[in-house]
Amino acid sequence: MFRNESDVDRVLAALGEQLTALSTEPVDILVCGGSALNALGLISRTTKDVDVLALVSKKSMDQLLLGTAKPLPPALLQAAVKVARDFDLPGDWLNPGPTSALDFGLPEGLLARAEKRRYGKIFTVRFLSRYDQIHFKLFAAVDQAGKHYDDLKLLKPTASELKAAALWSMTHDVSENYRNELKRILIDLGFKNVAQEI
């Protein structure tokens, strides 16, 4: 379980050590969700996994590419199994659950806003910024509510942030049902003006 920033750092540092021991190629991942919120100190809440949104690779010296995290690299999975055993984590604690979001496009500039941390010599983790978490949390809150709605409230989004997030989320689900539920959530959050603008 991850309850705060130090929990996330400790487990990811162990993962970096395991990857170094395997003498693998460098691994660079983009992480979103509850563990990223904890890692950045934006929210402290219990979560049981690390959601890998994408694998990051270099196209050139100054250009990075985002690729699907399905499947995760074999060495990363092998290292994750050992970390799960050492920290008593569920088998799928490191998973590519949200990687399908790549199919529909990510908020512009997302990678540049992500916070980059190194865990050892070959393991890099980029945590989704608060601004981009608002995008993902709004989309998830409309779809599933619960913890995502609670997280969204704790992030204290502004009207302009919610409008940008709402417009982006509507490219992922173009249905009228989604738009109606999105408006309801925005009104519930106290942003009737934003709901009227989308």
The per-residue pLDDT for range 139-171, each reduced to its tens digit, is 999 988 788 999 999 999 999 999 999 999 999
DSSP-derived secondary structure letter, 48 = S
% of the chain with per-residue pLDDT over 90: 86
Phi, psi of 120 (to 5 degrees): 90, -170
Report yes or no on whether pTM surpasses 0.95: no
At 61 the pLDDT is 66
At 4, the pLDDT band (50, 70, 90 cuts) reads confident
Distance CA 24, CA 123 (A): 10
Quick one: three-class SS letters along 26-39? CEEEEEECHHHHHH
